[in-house]
Structure 1
């Protein structure tokens, strides 16, 4: 192990979810040892996601994170030590990634974390620590759906369900960066945000699927429909996609749905499960590659996450979770660990 930030303390503060639904508590834990292929990162900021809230409530069996545990998937920080076999990163590098909090891996709501180097990318200087910390899960999820699965391209007509949400507002920006025409559903109060992102808003509460498909595509259907909402919105997606060449993607494929409407269009369906690399150990480097694309878009000015207007430190972590869950919250919530 090598470091320019010596001495590294023996212990660190972490936020522990002790039991289902209980408040997180701040505790001391030993600084983690480094396995091969890992970095020790001093966490500057951690992003929190609705999934973290479900894990905290012990309502996310698919995340395979038993309580008590530290939670948090996303972070941005500074490399303070590297395992001898790591050559892609160096002490002092600023990095970001989705590196823990599921599958038994320690979470990112901590002062330090040992992270697999394959999951990381260099943080672009155009993003603050907080902006970089909230990006990984939502960007990877949006990219895997739009680019890996649906192969978005210039001229495509793309519909994003939940365009003002975490994954949704990033999906709009990715689709726009490829030259697609983008529409996005949201409530009336969200239309200003959707328009500011460069998409045409659709008031799904007051317009039928048939109505907006006719208005936006002359009844032909969208080339890509990305559902970030789930439930009945998946069925609406099947009804909105283009015949033969259309592609429906969802990141929330819960429940039971008839595939007949999709089959009658000869269209394609894909699901996205972003946690697979952390749960299985397969595909880890692809997440790092995707985050390099996030950094590229941020440097070009084509990507900027929307942050909540409230700021939180580690001592206010329970307030941060309350803010994330509030129906009045607008934007991603970050917890500043340092500075």
Structure 2
């Protein structure tokens, strides 16, 4: 397998037409899994007895109506990244049961948040879900948590982005990219972006001006932003290799590169030696634990409700056609988010 121009490539033979989709197990104790890494054809809907286990005091059981799909899910399914967590980490649905210590959530309430996989029914810690904002659909809600939590955590908690600073968002038409644009605009930062040229119209619709858009597929963005900015203060990175190094060269003294990528993680000391007076930090959303997620929700909820942070554009697939959705994401064809409906 290989990553070329931001797309995942694996050798594969598949039927020309597949319409039936993945078989759905009986009952509600099942989730999306892969039998082995290396091919998206290995995705399946499999029984998961853990989903039927009695709740712990601080847990809730949710009947999921939709689940979000992220790049991490694709690279795990392909065996590129070794991550023991199940495929599918976010969703939205209706609470069907609460643990004995849960007081702020009720049965029948619609919530969105982080889950241990995508299936008909899922269990999670109460701190990892939050009520769905008024006016949002369940599909929109399912696609929002990881993108907005990641963007806010990266830019606020890790980068300490300040008003007036210059921010470069790579692959800005994806889910986290969309979310980061809205979050950074709220913070008052100068926003600069990269994306594939075929997706620049998406950035125009988000209010990004032509001088603040560059090509994510080539290294031309380095010269472009060297001549169009006084230097970059923060990079929100998802690129690899030479693109990552070029981003480091754009940072001015005190600059911070926050890396949400999974396939080219650098050592902070080596980074600083190569890019003096700058810092590098790779992260995973769950690094801070459940209490951090709950604190992020408290900051995000008012911004959801007043429209500062809107729903993200979302393309949906029936969960029985998860392999098709994963291939679409792997080929970098999408803008915004992809969701699986149940």
TM-score by length of 1: 0.81
Residue 36 of structure 2 is aligned to residue 26 of structure 1: no
Aligned to 2:215: 203
Q: Secondary structure at the match of 1:36?
A: coil
Partner Cα distance (2:302, 2:241) in 1? 33
Q: Secondary structure at the match of 2:275?
A: helix
Aligned to 1:60: 81
CA contact (8 A) 2:28 2:121 kept: no
Residue 337 of structure 2 is aligned to residue 332 of structure 1: yes
Aligned residues: 305
Partner Cα distance (1:268, 1:90) in 2? 43
Partner Cα distance (1:255, 1:155) in 2? 28
CA contact (8 A) 1:170 1:305 kept: no
Change (3 A) 1:235 1:202: same
Aligned to 1:222: 232
Farther off after superposition, 175-184 or 202-211? 202-211
Residue 156 of structure 2 is aligned to residue 150 of structure 1: no
Residue 286 of structure 2 is aligned to residue 267 of structure 1: no
Change (3 A) 1:241 1:322: same
CA contact (8 A) 2:214 2:221 kept: no
Aligned to 1:17: 34
Deviation at 1:259, TM superposition (A): 3.2
Change (3 A) 1:27 1:227: closer
**Structure 1 moving runs of 4+ over 6 Å:** none
Q: Secondary structure at the match of 2:61?
A: strand
Match for residue 92 of structure 2 among 56, 64, 76: 76
Residue 302 of structure 2 is aligned to residue 296 of structure 1: yes
Partner Cα distance (1:268, 1:18) in 2? 39
Deviation at 1:288, TM superposition (A): 2.3
Question: Cα deviation per residue 1:200-231 (whole Å; 9 max; x = unaligned)?
Answer: 3123537351332221x2xx312222112233
CA contact (8 A) 1:308 1:329 kept: no
Residue 65 of structure 2 is aligned to residue 44 of structure 1: yes
Aligned to 1:323: 328
Farther off after superposition, 167-176 or 204-213? 204-213
Partner Cα distance (2:257, 2:113) in 1? 27
Deviation at 1:125, TM superposition (A): 1.9
Partner Cα distance (1:92, 1:73) in 2? 22
Q: Secondary structure at the match of 1:198?
A: coil
Change (3 A) 1:181 1:258: closer
Partner Cα distance (2:71, 2:318) in 1? 18
CA contact (8 A) 1:32 1:114 kept: no
Partner Cα distance (1:269, 1:26) in 2? 38
Deviation at 1:134, TM superposition (A): 1.4
Q: Secondary structure at the match of 1:246?
A: strand
Match for residue 245 of structure 2 among 210, 235, 242: 235
Give the unaligned 5+ runs of structure 1. 1-8, 101-106, 278-282
Deviation at 1:11, TM superposition (A): 4.1
CA-based RMSD: 2.4
Partner Cα distance (1:207, 1:56) in 2? 32
Give the unaligned 5+ runs of structure 2. 1-25
Aligned to 1:284: 290
Change (3 A) 1:273 1:11: closer
Aligned to 2:121: 112
